[in-house]
Structures are given as C-alpha cells and as structure tokens.
Amino acid sequence: MRLNAFQLKIVAMVFMVLDHVASFFPGDIPQWFHWVGRIASPIFFYFAVEGFNHTRNRVQYMLRLFTWAFVMWGGSQLIHLLSGQERGIHNNIFLSLGLAVMMMCGLEMIRKGRQGLTMGLLIALAAAAAGMFTEASLYGVLMTLIFYYARKRKWLMGLLYVGVFLIFCLLGQELTYDQLFFADPQWMMVLAVPFILLYNGERGWNNTFTKYMFYAFYPLHIWIIYIISALMQ
C-alpha cells in the first residue's frame, strides 16, 4: 500500500489530535495517545521539506508559515485570556516549520555558490538557533537537516533518521519501561519512518480548500480542545 501526500497528512492530523487530547486532559487519556502522537510532527516536517522543493516561491511559502504562526499566537493568547485558566496554549508548530524553511533557504544559498555563502550561512545558523526555542526544538532542526539532505534517497534518509533520533532521545536515559513508555516517549518519533517510506510522491486531492484546510485545522483543533478542557475544570 502506498499513500499520497493528502492521505499521509490526514494520518498525521489524526495522530496529532490524539496527542493534543492527551496533553490537555492529562491523567484521563490512555498513554498510547501520546505514543502515536510522536508520529505526527516528523510527517509535517517531511512535507515542509517537500513543499520547499516544489513550491514556486520559497519566500512566499516561508512568509505564509510565519503569518499562520502569528495567527496561532494571537488566537491562543486571546483564548487563554478569555478562559481565565492558569495554563496557556504554547503549541505553535507553524513557527518551527517557518524557521525550518528559513534554514533551508540559507542552505540553498550556501549550495549555490560563493556569492551568497556568508549570508546563507548566517541565515541558516540564525534559523537553526531560533528553532531550538520553538515547540519542535532541536528535534525540528535535526529532522529538517536529515530530510533536506537525504530526500532523494529515502532508505538512507530513514536509516539516518532512526539512528540520529535514537541516539539523541535515548542517550543518557535510564532504559527502563517507565522511562521509555511513560516519562519520555520521544524516541517513538522513529515510528514515523514507515509512513514516510509509504509516500508515493503524488499530491493526491489538491485544491485551495485542501491547501488551507491543513493550515486552519491546526489552530482550530487545539483551541477547541483547550476550550473543552477549560469548561470541564
């Protein structure tokens, strides 16, 4: 079975919703919601790299992500203020993805020659450093680099991704059941690899509605889950 981009994004969206439900209703939701939730982010970063390589205007693509990051931030601040809850909404994957695209713009400038080498290096380093302080943190930077440099060799990309993430997620940890499956299950991001390898390179259902559906769904589903959790307090 092979999956197109639309189908894979739907899979990632379902996993993402389960993860956020577990985040806003701690203690009431099975732990496996968090496990499958670890699969979502790598799929979205993979498609950010794919989008970067297929878009006709990379700057416009980056600015679109930053615009949605601002919308997400502003809406989250407003909803948090109106809810009166102590806990705010800190999710904003758009900012992580926008900085990932910015970093790739810098890497492209480096790749194309000496004229833009210094500027490209500064842009890439600044975006990578800023990305460390976003929702995706170091993991987002590493995913972007692996997907960017190895995208044409998917099996190599998969092996690199699994190796790097197992090292970064498990190094220095106590390899106990409780630690691996409850305290810090971030290593389960490697489970995204089989889904990415199933990608057939086709866009699938693609129009203006589906394009903006993915952008709008992210903030809307988080805000709805947050409001429901606030009402149930």
Cα–Cα distance, 78 to 66 (Å, whole number): 18
Cα–Cα distance, 219 to 225 (Å, whole number): 10
Q: What is the pLDDT of residues 189-220, one digit of tens each?
A: 999 999 999 999 999 998 888 889 999 999 99
Looking at residue 151, what is its pLDDT? 93
pTM: 0.95
Could you say which residues of the chain have pLDDT below 70? 114
Token pair belonging to 24: 């806003």
Looking at residue 173, what is its pLDDT? 84
Q: Are the CB atoms for 150 and 157 separated by under 8 Å?
A: yes
Domain span holding position 78? 5-231
Token pair belonging to 214: 């993915």
Token pair belonging to 140: 């987002």
Q: How many domains does the chain have?
A: 1
Cα–Cα distance, 226 to 80 (Å, whole number): 9
Nearest to 89 by CA among 179, 209, 188, 219: 219
Q: What is the pLDDT of residues 41-77, one digit of tens each?
A: 999 999 999 999 999 999 999 999 999 999 999 999 9
Q: Are the CB atoms for 192 and 44 separated by under 8 Å?
A: no
